[in-house]
Amino acid sequence: MSVVTNVITPIVQMGVYVAMAGGFIWFILLIFKKFIPNFSLIMKYKIFRRSYKENDVEWCMDAVKKKMDDVAVKKTLLINGNSKKRIREIMYILEDVRTQMKGGFS
């Protein structure tokens, strides 16, 4: 009886606590993804300070020069065979390029 109360019960309790903590963290991340859809990109480029790929910035600058709207950009990226995740990333970079170039080209 002492083996059950001294060994197995604490192991089961620890498992329950770990499962509760994991569920809580999963729920918080789910809420972040719901209300902030670009959360992973914000973490990647703003929090961890990774720089954009030069090819992506160049492509986005060309799209801004051509005055392409979001629909035309997505259409072009889909035709070129990019994945949904890649399209979302390029759209994020495009929005950042547009905000940095508010005044246009000089």
Task: Please report, for the chain, the start and end positions of each structural domain, with discontinuous segments joined by +.
Answer: 1-35, 39-100
Q: In whole angstroms, what is the distance from residue 69 CA to residue 71 CA?
A: 6
Tens-digit pLDDT profile for residues 2-22: 888 888 999 999 999 999 999
Supply the pTM of this predicted model.
Answer: 0.71
pLDDT per residue as tens digits for the range 34-93:
999 898 899 899 999 999 999 999 999 999 999 999 999 999 999 999 999 999 999 999
pLDDT at res. 102 = 80
Task: Decide: helix, strand or coil at residue 105.
Answer: coil
- Helical segments of 36-69, H only: 39-42, 54-65
